[in-house]
Structure 1
Amino acid sequence: MMNRQHCADQEFARTILYQFLAMTFYEPADNFLVELEQEDSKKDLLEASRLLLEVKGVELMQEILHTLDGVNNAGKLGHQDLKAEYTRLFLGPMSPACPPYESYFDTNRPQEFQGTLMGPSSEAMEIALAEEGLELTLDYAELSDHVAIELEFMYYLLSRAYAEEKDSDVYLKKANAFFMEHLFPWLPKFGAKLSKESRHPFYKGIGLLLESTVKIDLGSVVNQKH
């Protein structure tokens, strides 16, 4: 049985890491993740990595933050390089190297629809967002089963689950169910593909971090069922 401190540590780590991962998959602006230049933000990410992912996770997070510092210190040129890689990986102009949608990776669809977009997961995400009274507020059109939206929704559910409110148990069940139904079936594969396809060290590191976080978090979900 987990003690109270272990549970608190796990809650902190899961929430921080899903929030960070969600932020990294939105289109990078010129001030991309500049808030992480604050030492407290970096400390929180490193501590969350240590608690959930242990030593290798800390080393990986350190590399990611170091790369991000390099991007921000390079100014406009650094951000242009990151934007170009984001476009190549996730947008196109032809076929993106790593489509960031659950539908694309959904192997439960009929054969003729595999590797295409706007599948059942898109509709399921639209329903899940509507049930929580949430809506997309991006400045550009995006499908609801985009990786950033799914990760941010997981962060939202965890935030509600760990807020110590009367419905916190309900939200923990929702978060874990969402993890099993929507995140675990495809994000490890997506993360592995991203780390392989990326030519930029930032997205290569994010792919590895995503794959590790989701695989290890499976243990958190399973333990909380017992």
Structure 2
Amino acid sequence: MPDQDLEQATAREDLCRFLAACHYEPDAAFAEEKVFDSMAAAAQRLDPQLEAGARRLGEAFAAHDLHALLVDYTRLFMGPPSPLAAPYGSIWLSGENAVMQESTVALQGLYGEAGFEVDEELGEMPDHVAVELEFLYLLTFKQNEARRAGEEVAIAAWDQLHDLFLRGHLGAWIAPFTQAVQAQAQTAFYRELAALSARFVQMEMERLPRP
């Protein structure tokens, strides 16, 4: 793999991992560990719009106190009485206000093929947006690892899983989900996170071969 491609491949892994973290409950550690600086550095190697979005995200996090972010996180993704932007793929894919639908079962099948397990301590459903982004990170990591090693069979297998996952799951519902977040968020942080996530996943979709 050429050096430039390797640099971009690693940047895609990093950005995906940071986006996943930001979809969990906001934490002061985001600033302490300079997550947004690292995110912007990764985005810079991929796309100017991604970099600008990552920098705005960091600025928005710094502009709000943690309590305001926690309140917005709760009303957007948890409720009560129900979340304003449900972070579960099954709800957006089925059009029904219910989780653990057929799409979730299919998703768990892909997780099993990849050897991916959802940490039970997280207390999240398998199709939570953060979990799906973590799975996308794993798939991207495995694709890049196989390409560095020149393992053609492994490359084909990971590419297929990556394709199936994006077309049938995260890539199929990220747009309406992020639109709902942008429409309902009270803080700039979650509006910027939604825009950045949508842009990144769309770029990943554009990398897929035409069906």
Q: How does 1:85-164 map to 2 (within 5 A)?
A: 85-106=72-93, 109=94, 114-163=96-145, 164=148
> Cα gap change, 1:79/1:176 in structure 2, threshold over 3 Å: closer, same or farther?
same
Equivalent AA in structure 1 for residue 61 of structure 2: L
Gaps of 5+ in 2: none
Asked whether the 8 Å contact 1:53–1:212 carries over to 2, the reply is no
Could you tell me the TM-score, scaled by structure 2's length? 0.85
Distance 2:5 2:164 in 1: 18
Structure-1 separation of matches of 2:62 and 2:77? 22
| Equivalent in 183, 186, 202 of residue 215 of structure 1 | 202
- Spell out structure 1 runs of 4+ moving beyond 6 A: none
1-structure distance, mates of 2:117, 2:6: 30
Contact 2:107–2:165, Cα closer than 8 Å, also in 1: no
The root-mean-square deviation of aligned C-alpha atoms, in Å, is: 2.5
Percent identity, aligned pairs only, is 26
Name the count of aligned residue pairs: 206
Alignment match, 2:57: 64
State how far apart, in whole Å, the 1-side matches of 2:209 and 2:196 are.
20
Give the alignment of 1:11-50 within 5 angstroms.
11-32=9-30, 34-36=32-34, 42=37, 44-50=38-44
Q: Deviations over 1:88-119 (max 9, x none)?
A: 0000110111000111111xx4xxx6343221
**Contact kept in structure 1, 2:88 and 2:129, CA below 8 Å:** yes
State the Cα distance separating 1:156 from its structure 2 match: 0.7
Query: Which one-letter code corresponds to 2:184 in the other structure?
Result: E
- Identify the range of structure 1 (184-193 vs 171-180) with the bigger mean alpha-carbon deviation: 171-180
Task: State the TM-score, normalized to the length of structure 1.
Answer: 0.80
Give the C-alpha shift of residue 120 in structure 1: 1.4
Equivalence for 1:172: 159
- Counterparts of 2:15 and 2:83 in 1: how far apart (Å)? 26
